Amino acid sequence: MGTVRVLVVEDSLTVRRRLVEVLSADPQMEVVGEAGDGKTGIELCQKLRPDIVTLDMMLPTMSGLEATEYIMAYCPTPILIVSSSTNRGELFKTYDALAAGALDVLEKPNGHDNGVWEQIFISRVKLISHVKVITHLRARLPNRPPNRLSTAPLPNPVVSEKVEPGVHRLVAIGASTGGPAACLQILQSLPPCYPFPILLVIHIGQAFSTFFVEWLESQSPLPVAYATDGELLPPIGQARVLLAPPDRHLVVCNGRMRLTSDPERHSCRPSIDVLFESLAQEIGKQTIACLLTGMGKDGATGLLSIRQAGGRTLAQDQATSIVFGMPQEAIRLGAAERTLGLQEFAPALLALADNSQWRKA
């Protein structure tokens, strides 16, 4: 493995020195540049072409969000957000940056973690630095309000077999690294009258999850909320997106959603596998399950369980995945009935719905 070349963009000199110190202590890391504001960070990124940028969100001159949008539009580079932002406005900017192409977000060190944070930071930088990111054109587009529902015609879905009306009951989606942007694209491409409830497990750090549901709803044509323990599954025809809350597994049992604090799966809570496996047991044949971009293998065996139970299983392809780890593992296991590009998921979900239901809603 070659040396990972890192650009550190952080306005606090104390924090910046700490990040540089931690990175420089690893023989596989090389800090090629430092910046204290977004504008300088962009200039150094274009000049130095680092393997990865660690980026604070609250920066002078240009914010972390503006820097992310510009970098991903003009010199695409893996970005790890390192932030201590906790208020609503700042967290919304963090989510916007993830939607604009930043790969992951990590809390700043607090000085009381006994070296654990440093290990996580180095590991995350190494993993993310090898991701082949794609160009995001947001910075090249005129400023405009969020597009809550695209009016562009959807491509014709390719369905290999006739879908029997009334077979399906809900959609389950699992995602990790790159998930906020991927989930948002799918939701924005569905109509407000989409008939099936959507259960979503997405890996995002607990410290950054406070306003994630509110942000996602502000961008989506469908209502979005955290699942509530004991709540009945929404009926068909009442479109809702229900997320697993931070640090709780979401399962479906006897027609209700249950939240548990059972042990982590694949170092994750909530775990995609936990949700998928519960659906395979509860309503396997009625489930449409989607496994999207993400590191690791969470969701792969659960997707296989759903397929074995007779449900429909879709996995994101390598070309459109930010990280192909989870979908790749599912494909390796034979869990994915179909492998789709991200832009194909919404048309496929529409095709798998009873057209008469969603068109009349």
DSSP letter for each residue of 182-204: HHHHHHHTS-TT--S-EEEEE--
- pLDDT for res 1: 56
Residue 112 to residue 309: CA distance in whole angstroms: 47
Q: Mean per-residue pLDDT for 89-104?
A: 91
- pLDDT for res 292: 98
Radius of gyration of the chain, Cα coordinates, nearest whole angstrom: 20
Query: What string of H, E and C letters represents the secondary structure of 133-158?
Result: CCCCCHHHCCCCCCCCCCCCCCCCCC
Q: Mean per-residue pLDDT for 301-327?
A: 95
Using the predicted structure, report yes or no on whether residue 43 has a pLDDT greater than 60.
yes
Q: Tell me the per-residue pLDDT of 116-136, one tens digit each, with 9 for 90 and over.
A: 899 999 999 998 998 888 777
- Structure tokens belonging to residue 329: 């593992």
**299 vs 84, which has greater pLDDT?**
299
Using the predicted structure, report yes or no on whether residue 183 has a pLDDT greater than 80.
yes
User: 229: which DSSP letter?
Assistant: T
To the query of whether residue 104 is one of the catalytic residues in this protein, the response is no
Q: Name the helix (H) or strand (E) containing 316.
A: strand 312-316
Using the predicted structure, report yes or no on whether residue 146 has a pLDDT greater than 50.
no
Q: How confident is the model at residue 250 (pLDDT cuts 50, 70, 90)?
A: very high
C-alpha torsion sign, points 165, 342, 218, 302? positive
To the query of whether residue 189 is one of the catalytic residues in this protein, the response is no
**229 vs 146, which has greater pLDDT?**
229
Annotated active-site residue in 168, 203, 249, 266: 203
Annotated active-site residue in 51, 298, 317, 354: 298
Average pLDDT, the chain: 88
Annotated active-site residue in 176, 189, 220, 271: 176
pTM of the model: 0.85
Q: Mean per-residue pLDDT for 5-22?
A: 96
Residue 12 to residue 60: CA distance in whole angstroms: 11
To the query of whether residue 176 is one of the catalytic residues in this protein, the response is yes
- pLDDT for res 354: 62
